[in-house]
Amino acid sequence: MENSKVEDLLSKINTLLDEAGTKINAADNLQILEALRVEYLGRKSQLIDILKGIKDAEPSQKAKLGQRSNLAKSQIENKIQEKIKQIKEKELKAIELQEEIDISIPPSGIKKGHKHLITTTIEEVEDIFMRMGFEVHYPYAIDDDYHNFESLNIPPGHPARDSWDTFWTEQGKIAITHTSSMQNRILSQQKPPVRAIVIGRCFRNEATDARHEHTFTQVEGVYVDKGITLPDMLGTLKEFFSKYYKKDLAVKFTPDFFPFVEPGGMMSLSCILCNGEGCKVCKQTGWLELLGCGMIHPKVLEMAGIDPKTYSGFAWGFGLERLIMLKNNINDIRLFNSGDLDFIKQF
């Protein structure tokens, strides 16, 4: 075969390749691509015709043309595959767009929930104390021995530790037993006057019953300044409880022992149900014992870098659930964390 004819055939293959490429690019659906495959790669395609026409060529010419047309075939096939991929991706995108879910649209037919009674009460309590000039702190749920015990004048081995049995991590950390765990931090971080409350979850290794839970909320108070005395504490707490229960209440202090206060005691409130007359809830005494409190122990002040000769202060801690139970006539503390919707929905 003449070399010029071989050149002709080669350039024809190139032209076919270009032509196929343009058509494949322009194709916009899979049927057209299939038709193009038949046209350029099928048994009756021009490429096959070319190969049939070189039977009488020399082996080297045959090899050259054969290689070139094989290359052209695979290039066309690749182009078709590439285009099929593009078309399919485009189709998928269109479907995705159609089915796209807008998560910002509010659900219809689902009733909106509301804040839990504990949350709304925390907000209410914070509001009352903030108006009285207290700042609000939150405890670490997991803290160390120093903050939960030692800085509160409860050294290792102190028998008072038995009153605060709790859960320990393998690393020796503690699920806090009281919000007093923040006293040392608050007192060592600012100079008096200090007025702060701490609200947060506490944990105890309790046998649970209607009055005891392993997880509960405490409200701690710390007040330190020059010349602070026990009547200041009673006045502060009387003010708070009268605001929370929306009635004028009397308070009473009964001595009791906590290692971090001296004197320490329990504070009682005139019974909010019978106004001190005597009823079932206050066991006919007219008083409800509500919280532990006292004048901050000089050692606790010292450990926080405050000179007990210049400053004095008081601290208290009460359980938030108990307060709510009395206000709302709830008779089982376990209801708060029970997840019982009938209970939750009432408030």
- What are the residues binding ligand PHE (CB under 6 A)? 178, 180, 220, 258, 261, 264, 292-294, 315-317
Judge whether 224 counts as a catalytic residue.
no
Kindly state the smallest distance separating residue 294's Cβ from ligand PHE, in Å: 5
Judge whether 287 counts as a catalytic residue.
no
Q: Which is nearer to ligand PHE, 48 or 136 (CB)?
A: 136
The catalytic position among 20, 57, 72, 164 is 164
The catalytic position among 6, 27, 68, 218 is 218
Judge whether 168 counts as a catalytic residue.
no
- For residues 274 and 286, the answer to whether their CB atoms sit within 8 Å is yes
- For residues 71 and 41, the answer to whether their CB atoms sit within 8 Å is no
The catalytic position among 204, 287, 300, 304 is 204
Judge whether 147 counts as a catalytic residue.
no
Structure tokens at 79: 């182009």
Cα dihedral across residues 276, 279, 285, 289: positive or negative:
negative
Q: Which is nearer to ligand PHE, 47 or 304 (CB)?
A: 304
Q: Which is nearer to ligand PHE, 256 or 332 (CB)?
A: 256
How far, in Å, CA of 242 to CA of 271, rounded?
12
Judge whether 204 counts as a catalytic residue.
yes
CA 57 to chain centre: 79
Structure tokens at 314: 């008081």
Q: Which residue has the tokens 């070139």?
A: 68
DSSP three-state, residue 126:
helix
How far, in Å, CA of 114 to CA of 122, rounded?
14
The CA-CA-CA angle for residues 44, 46, 52, to 5°, reads 80
Spell out the residues 6+ positions from residue 282 whose beta carbon is closer than 8 angstroms to its own.
271, 273, 274, 288
Kindly state the smallest distance separating residue 183's Cβ from ligand PHE, in Å: 8
Q: Which is nearer to ligand PHE, 120 or 163 (CB)?
A: 163
Give the N- to C-terminal CA distance of the chain in Å, as an integer. 99
The catalytic position among 6, 315, 316, 322 is 315
Kindly state the smallest distance separating residue 337's Cβ from ligand PHE, in Å: 18
Judge whether 164 counts as a catalytic residue.
yes
Kindly state the smallest distance separating residue 343's Cβ from ligand PHE, in Å: 26
Q: Which is nearer to ligand PHE, 167 or 343 (CB)?
A: 167
The catalytic position among 261, 287, 300, 304 is 261
Kindly state the smallest distance separating residue 98's Cβ from ligand PHE, in Å: 59
Phi, psi of 84 (to 5 degrees): -60, -45
Q: Which residue has the tokens 């400053």?
A: 311
Which residues are identified as catalytic? 164, 178, 204, 218, 261, 315
